[in-house]
Amino acid sequence: MNCGLSQQRIVQNFNEKVVIVFTEKTSNLTKEAIHKAMKETIPNHESSIYIWDSAVQESTQTTFDKIKLYESIIQKSNRVILTADLDYACAHAISKGKPTYIAFSGRCRSYLTQFYRWVSDAHLIRKLRLGKGKHKSTNVDDPYSYLGIHPDWGNGNKIFQYNHTMSFIKKAILQSRQETLTGKRKE
């Protein structure tokens, strides 16, 4: 997915404002590529796109101040779009009741695959899909996700409760044990 074109569609087609959050782990090469793509594809991007880079925030800011600023960004947002490597940020956005979209979830492995399957089955996230231009189909329920009718967003507070989480983990362990005993894969 071309980052510059995706941002361009969000800003120009949907008339949205975008906040790009860089963590301490975001490489300088990635940051430079995103800056370059914005300059090339979005005229006057300064009014529509804000970049929050936690690695270069003022050194006088405490960790608590950075957390408060990040919380404010999430609270003021209408929807959250994340890359699939940010499972903690996904859980945070879901817990705040924000519609959450995930990019690149098909590239996940191991526990990330299981996590995103779990939250997707609970209707807490949707895969990000930004079509080229305006949708020509009349079946568009959510222009940020795939075509068709989507179920209502799930309740993240209910899903992340201790009892529900423990029942999911218990079921996964029992299925894994059954696979080991019988030699057959789960359904």
The pLDDT tens digits of the residues spanning 95-113 come to: 888 888 888 877 778 888 8
Q: Exposed e or buried b for every residue in 65-95, given b needs 16+ CB within 10 A?
A: eeeeebeeebeebeebbbebbbbebbbbbbe
The contacts found for 109-112 with CB under 8 angstroms, 24 or more apart, are 112/84, 112/85, 112/87
Per-residue pLDDT reduced to its tens digit, 138-153:
556 677 777 777 888 8
Residue type, 58: E
The answer to whether residue 169 is domain-embedded is no
Q: Cα separations (Å) of 186 from 108, 117, 171?
A: 20, 15, 11
What was the pLDDT predicted at 2?
A: 46
Say which CATH number the domain at 54 has.
3.40.50
52 CB neighbour count, 10 Å cutoff: 15
The answer to whether residue 163 is domain-embedded is no
The answer to whether residue 118 is domain-embedded is yes
Question: What mean pLDDT is predicted for residues 166-181?
Answer: 76
The answer to whether residue 20 is domain-embedded is yes
Q: For 52, list phi and psi in degrees, rounded to 5.
A: -110, 110
What was the pLDDT predicted at 76?
A: 83
What was the pLDDT predicted at 6?
A: 63
Residue range of the domain that includes 75? 3-154
Residue from 37, 49, 85, 92 nearest 70 by CA: 92
Question: What mean pLDDT is predicted for residues 147-176?
Answer: 75
Residue type, 149: I
pLDDT confidence tier of residue 1, bands split at 50, 70 and 90: very low
Structural domains of the chain, count: 1
The answer to whether residue 184 is domain-embedded is no
The answer to whether residue 187 is domain-embedded is no
Question: What mean pLDDT is predicted for residues 19-25?
Answer: 75
The answer to whether residue 100 is domain-embedded is yes
The answer to whether residue 185 is domain-embedded is no
